[in-house]
Chains A and B, each alone.
Chain A
Amino acid sequence: MIEIKDVVKTFDGFAALSGASLTVETGSVYGLVGPNGAGKSTLIRVLTGIFRQDAGTVCLDGRPVWEDAELKARVASIPDDWYYFLQANINDMMRFYRGFYPAFSQERFERLGEVFQLDRKKAIRHLSKGMQKQAAFWLGLSCMPDYLILDEPVDGLDPVMRRQVWSLVMDDVAQRGTTVLVSSHNLRELEDVCDHVGIMDRGKILLERSLAQLQDNMVKLQVVLPEGMDAVPDEIPVLHASRLGRVHTLIMRMSAREAQERLAPCHPLLVDAVPLTLEEIFIYELGGVDYAVRDIVL
């Protein structure tokens, strides 16, 4: 279990993290999303013990991460700016990882070799960006981690490899109960792989829910109101409303059934409930905190 509580991290007076808290249950896949500069990568660096937080606690299984080598040996991390030694090839890096991770599985490393068809004897820095990322997954998964921390993990991978990588990660979650924390901007993909989502903004976690809760607690309705009724009555809480001709599109923070019940007294001519995608939830949630797409024409 990952527990981050009220973590603050400042750089030259700028608070990259200003009281961030999140919890990831064991065996859960947690998607960390947020606008650019929200502090996702900083949070990940604090979680993996690269940065030391100014305040707050960062614990894995109840133990603080900072300088706990034994604990960190159970964590594999794929950062967005990975590092390999100059001239090192995959075999060299494998021996390096094997030395640091007691659980490293040579058998798994060989089996993954069939998936990632990379030249093991070529210097990694001579491989393409996407291939270097594949190498990171190859090495990371071979460590048999209890925790897998991924920062923008599938950036730069081709569509086949993205799916392949997610398939491997999902298999690991199903088989070994690996706990995964993944930051990404690809919400479509996160929707498939995550069961929990945290939305981060300006150094804080705005909201943290299970995907099921998110999907069941927000709904998009397309409504045609009867003649003479121009807007939905004020007493019905609407998060966002827009209108095209007679069709009103309403975003409401409740289940589809409840929303339909609330609207029934208006006698709408048509009510159509559409579930929201994670992308829409992200946009509407952040729209509430003044982060929205602006209509600017250049």
Chain B
Amino acid sequence: MISLNYRDSRPIYEQIRDELRKLIVTGAIGVDDKLPSVRALATELAINPNTIQRAYNELETEGYLYSVPGKGSFACRPQSADQARRETLLEELKGLLSGLRCLGMTQAELLGLWKEAQA
């Protein structure tokens, strides 16, 4: 379910966090679905359980999961999480846009892309 890329320069916990978030956002892990236990994931990926726990803690802070003591962690998608995600994506987009502008891309061409994405 989660694949780690050892050539990726992101630390392992970030990769796990991002992968899980992607699964939750895309609905592959539905709202209130149970996430794999820290132990199960640690064994499956051969990764330190504390590293997995760190990824889970961050997702909990971001609001993508909640934990029920003795039961495990469950997925959720609060508005605030979408908002935070939107902000990070917008930041990335700004960087990309300034890069494209440096390469001489015009506003009209960018708007064309926007329409293409909506189609």
Contacts and interface: CB of A to CB of B under 8 A. Distances in A.
Interface string A179-198: 00000000010011111000
Interface string B31-61: 0000000110011111111110010000000
Nearest to A28: B50
A157 to B, nearest CB: 13
A194 B13 CA distance: 12
A87 to B, nearest CB: 34
Interface string A249-282: 0000000000000000000000000110100000
Contact of B39 (A171, A192, A212): A171
A10 interface: no
B42 A174 contact: yes
Overall SS of chain B's interface? helix
Given A212-B54, A277-B9, A163 B39 contact: no
Given A173-B42, A174-B38, A174-B42, A274 B47 contact: no
Contacts of A170: 42-43, 46-49
Chain A interface residue number, banded: 20 to 34
Given A29-B50, A174-B49, A277-B9, 7 more contacts: A170-B42, A170-B47, A170-B48, A173-B49, A192-B12, A192-B47, A215-B11
A175 interface: yes
